[in-house]
Amino acid sequence: MSTGTSTASSTPVRLLAIVGPTAVGKSALALRLAERFHGAIISADSRLIYRHMDIGTAKPSPAERARVPHYLIDILDPDEPFGLAQFQELAYQAIADAHQQGYLPMLVGGTGQYVWAVLEGWSIPRVPPQPTIRAQLEELARHEGPEALHRRLAELDPTAAARIDPRNVRRVIRALEVCLTTGQPISELQRKNPPSYDTLIIGLQMERAELYARIDERVEQMIAAGLVDEVRRLLEAGYPPDLPAFSSLGYRQIIAYLRGETTLEEAVARIKRETRRLVHQQSIWFRADDPRIHWLPAHDYPAIERCVAQWLARRPAPPKSV
């Protein structure tokens, strides 16, 4: 794991993190700040890693990505496996690379696991997929429901169960898979060894009613931009509909529409509802009372810029000895 210390001096690498709920404007703000402070953007979004999935992920456009360096976007095809440990390793490499090139590394995204795995230095179990165990757990979820699966996790690892939404079957199965394979709760294996970055975490706030209106508008824009055709092309290219990549919001609902299981109107309504639920999950990952996060109104760019400028102007503390 990266130590977060510059090789050219004894001062720690500076890292700006921008977090907040989906549709709050993280990408647009990051682009503006990157241009203002000579930054490079490291995506902490679990969906932007996939090629060919552009509209449904609200991926930055090629023109936007040409304005400032971007990392960890379009690095895998939808059927390639990818896990948290792999993301963490690549993120540390990207931060080091951006710093060495003279950029301010900026970790940007709403995937809480990704953000905290980097900032807190999680020790992530390197347990490879266990097909037999996974198949058994998937069968249990199909016959008895996701809640039964979550109850089993609560018996083996109540700490992990408290952190995972019962509806997130994939994450519940992964936690059970690690427990059953290693004999240890995944929460105990995920110890923390934070890198010695000099970090500023900006959290973007917005009134919930306005955020929900932005979500609805963005979903409508995705449909108008061709989300249905994007999903159809992916399926016609031979990507199976049960891929983990297609568990992303928007894709699984449009797949259901293309299969004739629902109308387009209902699929769109489901995307909007599920995105609102995602906002609630993100609020758990990025708590409003977390003293590490500087929460600022998403619309108040001058205040955000001042906060970053003041942080950069102060002399960073030397890294802690280990």
Give the pLDDT of residue 318: 56
Residue 91 vs residue 166, higher pLDDT: 91
Strand, helix or coil for residue 241: coil
Task: Express each pLDDT in 46-65 by its tens digit.
Answer: 999 999 999 999 999 999 99
Task: Label residue 121 left, alpha or beta by phi (over 0 means left) and psi (-120 to 50 means alpha).
Answer: left
- Mean confidence (pLDDT) of the chain: 91
Question: What's the pLDDT tens digit per position in 220-276?
Answer: 999 999 999 999 999 999 999 999 999 989 999 999 999 999 999 999 999 999 999
At residue 75, the pLDDT reads 97
Sign of CA dihedral 312, 314, 316, 317: negative
* CB contact set of 302 (below 8 Å; sequence gap of 6+): none
User: How much is the pTM?
Assistant: 0.82
How confident is the model at residue 183, as a pLDDT? 85
Structural domains in the chain, CATH included, are 14-123+192-313 (3.40.50.300), 131-189 (1.10.20.140)
Contact 94, 73 (CB under 8 A): no
Helices (H), 5-156: 26-37, 62-67, 84-100, 112-119, 131-144, 146-156
For residue 193, the model assigns a pLDDT of 87
Six token digits for residue 192: 């923390």
Question: DSSP 3-state assignment of 31?
Answer: helix
Confidence check: pLDDT of 315 > 70: yes
Question: What pLDDT does 6 receive?
Answer: 58
Residue 113's nearest CA partner among 82, 85, 155 is 85
Q: Is a pLDDT exceeding 90 seen at residue 20? A: yes
More confident residue, 134 or 71: 71
**Per-residue pLDDT reduced to its tens digit, 282-300:** 998 899 889 999 999 999 9
